């Protein structure tokens, strides 16, 4: 049997072979495969591969592919508690919640990947993040081999981060959400660009299906909904997080650089910094098949036939250019497998 190639299992479509691939279609299988994988010298849990940059050398270890299914909902007077198997694809699950009139996830429509990966970087978009509705995860801890429910409060969920992304190793088996009901009023629009395109005020109430439709439309226009025919979507989404800097440092930047409060600090726009450092949409290092998306400055894309090394070269070029121009270090958002970005 030939070795499984990770380029076939990631949305950037780069990455070499894994030594071994175990596919789990039930939660019991997932536990068994994960416990087996934990004994290997290297292991990786793989969902939709939409937040991964895997080296061309591949992965010398066991990959556990999460393809478990199942959605279980309990309604009460105030809302609905939903428990979802880790392998359920994210967006079809969101579509189900919207169709059922359950609220809270509609602004997260169109994000690729699996439900099990959603807490890993506390996915977010259009003014909403997973932490707003996540109650707990069922987790198989690699350190102890134990399976237990872990409350969201223990995951240190933050802007594109959690303990699961940074050090707490194991497998999310099930994710539990607490959602509301739409009722007559609808849900508040929490993002200025979304409000603008809907033609309503920020905070206005609209039906969840309206939010979902508009988010999908906006995301589609930016290449942020997967489409095999469109190379602008052969990406890992936003490749860099928005930098968070001190107010004193923010003062040193041009006055027209967008900025938002982030606790006591200031969040900057990575896209603005990249563009104003002179790296524009569509840019590719000469001879490379990796390029900035033609629709979104933050997405590094595979134009067909790119290598992971080319994606990493482009990432480093962007980082160095922004560092030299503005003194800001851009931090990659995807999980990097292999020695690529130093
Ligand atoms: C076009 C595009 C648009 C995107 N837009 C957004 C966006 O708007 N907002 C946003 O936040 N993200 C966005 N992303 C990033 C990505 O879709 C999310 O991070 C998503 O949650 C990743 O899910 P996945 O199943 O593909 O994870 P993978 O890429 O398979 O894995 C990502 C990480 O999570 C770990 N992991 C996966 N499953 C599990 C599990 N069950 N248990 C433990 N660890 C696990 C992996 O080991 C890896 O470290 C986008 C990506 C693309 C390609």
DSSP assignment of 103-166, as one string?
Answer: ESSGGGTT--SBTTTTTTTT-EETTEEGGGTEEEEEEEETTT--EEEEEGGGG--BTTB-TTTT
Catalytic site includes residue 269:
no
55 lines ligand 1 (CB under 6 A): no
Cα distance between residue 135 and residue 119, in whole Å: 10
Cα of 116 vs centre of ligand 1, distance in Å, is 9
Q: What's the mean pLDDT in 56-84?
A: 97
Cα of 175 vs centre of ligand 1, distance in Å, is 14
Residue that is written with structure tokens 């070029």 in the block: 317
The confidence score (pLDDT) of residue 340 equals: 86
Percent of the chain with pLDDT over 70: 99
Catalytic site includes residue 129:
no
Residue 96 has pLDDT above 70, yes or no: yes
**pLDDT-derived band of residue 196, with 50, 70 and 90 as boundaries?**
very high
11 lines ligand 1 (CB under 6 A): yes
Catalytic site includes residue 138:
no
Tokens at residue 262, please?
């982030």
Residue nearest to atom 49 of ligand 1 (CA): 335
Residue nearest to atom 21 of ligand 1 (CA): 118
Q: What's the mean pLDDT in 121-136?
A: 97
Choose the catalytic residue: 106, 129, 214, 333: 333
Q: What does residue 154 show for φ and ψ, rounded to 5 degrees?
A: -90, 5
Choose the catalytic residue: 238, 289, 293, 313: 238
Tokens at residue 63, please?
């990959």
Read off the pLDDT of residues 280-323 as tens digits, 9 standing for 90 and up: 999 999 999 999 999 999 999 999 999 999 999 999 999 999 99
The confidence score (pLDDT) of residue 3 equals: 78
Residue 182 has pLDDT above 90, yes or no: no
4 lines ligand 1 (CB under 6 A): no
With beta carbons less than 8 A apart as the criterion, state whether 303 and 282 touch.
no
Residue 40 has pLDDT above 70, yes or no: yes
List, in sequence order, every beta strand (DSSP E) within the chain. 18-24, 43-46, 52-54, 59-66, 71-75, 80-85, 102-103, 124-125, 128-129, 134-141, 147-151, 170-181, 187-188, 205-206, 244-245, 259-262, 265-268, 290-292, 300-302, 335-337
> Which of 7, 51, 294 to mutate to test ligand 1, by most ligand atoms within 8 A of the CB atom?
51
335 lines ligand 1 (CB under 6 A): yes
Tokens at residue 337, please?
């497998």
**pLDDT-derived band of residue 341, with 50, 70 and 90 as boundaries?**
confident
162 lines ligand 1 (CB under 6 A): no
306 lines ligand 1 (CB under 6 A): no
Atom of ligand 1 minimally distant from the CA of 170: 43
Cα distance between residue 195 and residue 197, in whole Å: 6
Residue nearest to atom 8 of ligand 1 (CA): 125
Atom of ligand 1 minimally distant from the CA of 12: 53
172 lines ligand 1 (CB under 6 A): yes
Angular region, 52: left φ>0, alpha ψ -120 to 50, beta rest:
beta
Cα of 185 vs centre of ligand 1, distance in Å, is 32
**pLDDT-derived band of residue 144, with 50, 70 and 90 as boundaries?**
very high
Cα of 284 vs centre of ligand 1, distance in Å, is 25
Q: Rounded to the nearest 5 degrees, what angle is found at the Cα of 240, between the Cα atoms of 191 and 272? A: 60
Cα distance between residue 82 and residue 113, in whole Å: 18
Cα distance between residue 131 and residue 136, in whole Å: 10
Strands 259-262, 265-268: parallel, antiparallel or unpaired by DSSP?
A: antiparallel
The pTM assigned to this predicted structure is 0.96
Residue 1 has pLDDT above 60, yes or no: no
With beta carbons less than 8 A apart as the criterion, state whether 15 and 56 touch.
yes
**pLDDT-derived band of residue 2, with 50, 70 and 90 as boundaries?**
low
């Amino acid at each position: 049997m030939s070795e499984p190639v990770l380029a076939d299992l990631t949305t950037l479509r780069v990455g070499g072979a894994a030594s071994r691939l175990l596919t789990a279609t039930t939660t019991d299988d997932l536990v068994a495969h994960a416990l087996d994988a934990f004994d290997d010298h290297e292991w990786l849990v793989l969902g939709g591969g939409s937040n991964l940059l895997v080296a061309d050398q591949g992965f010398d270890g066991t990959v556990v592919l999460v393809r478990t299914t199942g959605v279980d909902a309990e309604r009460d007077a105030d809302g609905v508690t939903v428990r979802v198997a880790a392998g359920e694809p994210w967006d079809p699950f969101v579509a189900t919640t919207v169709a059922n009139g359950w609220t809270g996830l509609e602004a997260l429509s169109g994000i690729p990947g699996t439900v099990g990966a959603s807490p890993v970087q506390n996915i977010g978009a259009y003014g909403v993040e997973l932490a707003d509705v996540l109650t707990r995860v069922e987790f198989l801890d690699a350190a102890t081999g134990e399976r237990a429910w872990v409350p969201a409060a223990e995951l240190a969920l933050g802007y594109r981060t959690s303990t699961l992304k940074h050090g707490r190793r194991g497998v999310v088996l099930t994710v539990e959400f607490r959602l509301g009901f739409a009722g007559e009023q609808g849900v508040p629009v929490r993002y200025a660009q979304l409000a603008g395109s809907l033609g309503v005020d920020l905070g206005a109430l609209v039906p969840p299906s309206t939010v979902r439709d508009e988010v999908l439309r906006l995301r589609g226009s930016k290449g942020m909904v997967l489409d095999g025919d469109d190379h602008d979507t052969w990406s890992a989404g936003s490749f860099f997080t928005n930098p968070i800097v001190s107010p004193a440092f923010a003062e040193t930047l041009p006055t027209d650089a967008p900025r938002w409060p982030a606790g006591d600090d200031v969040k900057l726009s990575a896209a603005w910094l990249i563009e104003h450092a002179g790296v524009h949409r569509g840019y590719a290092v000469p001879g490379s098949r990796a390029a900035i998306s033609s629709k979104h400055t933050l997405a590094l894309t595979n134009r067909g036939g790119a290598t992971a090394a080319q994606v990493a070269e482009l990432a480093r070029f962007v980082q160095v250019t922004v560092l030299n121009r503005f003194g800001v270090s851009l931090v990659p958002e995807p999980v990097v497998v292999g020695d690529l970005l130093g």
